[in-house]
């Protein structure tokens, strides 16, 4: 199994695990059966969100990113994949300090360009008229995957996010055209700008932003959860759960532990009670 799986191939793997596979069902042209692609994709996104939360607890640096943000009237717009701010630096390298809204400067005061307030998906500098560049170091969040058939050239289906820039920086694979690329821009009309051109009616799948060593675990986790559905023809077995646990521990021990030596058993013990897949499925 390739570690470079995309959402489209994960849907196929899930359907095989659920004894409900056909190429037409994966493509969405056949909607019969107990499981819709939308349901399976939701389980895939739940799986990667769970795996992300575990990795984040053990090694935040796996998701560390930086961006240069230019203030417009003292407002910085945060990247779409921004999860947690690590540090914000002024153009001369001064570390900025976050303050509460009731600590902002009073009317008529000059304010301080190294103080800021977080407001929604923006950062507001505590000084009027700032247009400087700031450097943001942050931990990226886990964004949902999507798949489908292009509605037009470089246009994703209506199942994709309707928010501009949502998929910026993510990788997409063109299944029909056998090519992959990186999205540099995404509009609210679901049009992508990327390093490849996706033809009209081509099937595509988004690639997870998790470290690629964990990609193979996403459909395995999703399959276990889907098999708990009443309509599933089979239920998760102890052997399947044990196999997933072993592979997850191996991946965590190799890529998501602290810099100190860590016993394999302590990885999950340290994370309790945030491991429902390990202890909750029977």
> pLDDT at position 26, please?
95
In sign, the C-alpha dihedral spanning 269, 219, 53, 65 is positive
Q: For strands 147-149 and 203-207, give the pairing.
A: antiparallel
> pLDDT at position 234, please?
77
- pTM exceeding 0.85: no
Query: 30 - beta bridge partners?
Result: none
Rounded to 10 deg, the angle between the 37-58 and 217-226 helix axes is 120
> pLDDT at position 45, please?
97
Could you read off the pLDDT tens digit of each residue along the chain, which spans 282 residues?
345 789 999 999 889 888 889 999 999 999 988 899 999 999 999 999 999 999 988 888 889 999 999 999 999 999 989 999 999 999 999 999 999 887 776 555 678 899 999 998 899 999 999 999 999 999 999 999 999 999 999 999 999 999 999 999 999 999 999 999 999 999 999 999 999 999 999 999 999 999 888 998 998 899 998 888 877 777 888 888 888 889 888 888 877 665 444 444 554 455 444 444 443 443
> pLDDT at position 109, please?
62
> pLDDT at position 256, please?
65
Q: What are phi and psi of 189, to 5 degrees?
A: -85, 10
**What are the tokens at 221?**
């986790």
What are the residue ranges spanned by the domains of the chain?
62-140, 146-207
> pLDDT at position 154, please?
98
Residue 267 and residue 250 in contact, taking contact as beta carbons nearer than 8 Å: no
Name the one residue in this structure whose structure tokens are 């717009």: 77
> pLDDT at position 206, please?
97
Give the DSSP per-residue string, the chain.
--TT-BHHHHHHHHHHHTT---HHHHHTS---SS--HHHHHHHHHHHHHHHHHHHHHH-GGGGEEEEEEE-BTTEEEPPTTEEEEEEEE-TT-PBPEE--GGGSPPTT---EEEEEEEETTEEEEESTT---EEEEEEEEPPPPP-EEE-SBTTB--TTS--STTTTTT-EEEETTTTEEEEEEEE-TT-BEEESS-PPTT-EEEEEPSS-GGGTTHHHHHHHHHHTTSTT-SS---HHHHHHHHHHHHHHHHHHSS-SS---HHHHHHHHTTS-HHHHH--
Q: Is the peptide bond before 134 cis (omega within 30 degrees of 0)?
A: no
| Pick from 46, 155, 140, 163: nearest CA to 84 | 140
Residue 3: CB partners within 8 Å, gap ≥ 6? 212, 213, 215, 216
Q: For strands 75-77 and 171-174, give the pairing.
A: unpaired
> pLDDT at position 275, please?
43
> pLDDT at position 23, please?
95
């Amino acid at each position: 199994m390739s570690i470079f799986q995309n959402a489209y191939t994960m849907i196929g793997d899930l359907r095989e695990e659920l004894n409900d596979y056909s190429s037409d069902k994966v493509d969405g042209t056949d909607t019969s059966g107990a499981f819709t692609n939308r349901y399976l994709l939701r389980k895939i996104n739940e799986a990667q969100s769970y795996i992300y939360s575990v990795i984040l607890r053990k090694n935040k640096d796996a998701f560390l990113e930086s961006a240069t943000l230019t203030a417009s009237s003292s407002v910085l717009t945060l990247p779409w994949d921004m999860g947690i701010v690590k540090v914000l630096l002024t153009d001369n390298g001064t570390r900025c300090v976050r303050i509460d809204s009731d600590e902002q400067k009073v009317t008529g005061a000059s304010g301080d360009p190294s103080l800021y307030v977080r407001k929604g998906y923006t950062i507001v500098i505590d000084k009027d008229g700032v247009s400087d560049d700031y450097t943001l170091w942050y931990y990226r969040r886990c964004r949902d995957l999507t798949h489908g058939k292009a509605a037009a050239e470089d246009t994703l289906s209506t199942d994709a996010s309707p928010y501009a820039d949502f998929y910026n920086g993510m990788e997409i694979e063109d299944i029909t055209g056998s090519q992959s690329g990186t999205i540099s821009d995404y509009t609210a009309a679901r049009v992508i700008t990327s390093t490849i051109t996706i033809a009209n009616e081509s099937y595509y799948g988004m690639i997870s932003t998790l470290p690629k060593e964990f990609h193979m675990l996403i459909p395995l986790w999703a399959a276990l959860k889907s098999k708990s559905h009443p309509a599933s023809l089979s239920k998760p077995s102890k052997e399947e759960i044990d196999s997933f646990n072993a592979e997850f521990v191996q991946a965590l021990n190799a890529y998501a532990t602290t810099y100190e030596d860590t016993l394999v058993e302590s990885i999950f013990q340290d994370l309790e009670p945030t491991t429902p897949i390990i202890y909750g499925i029977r």
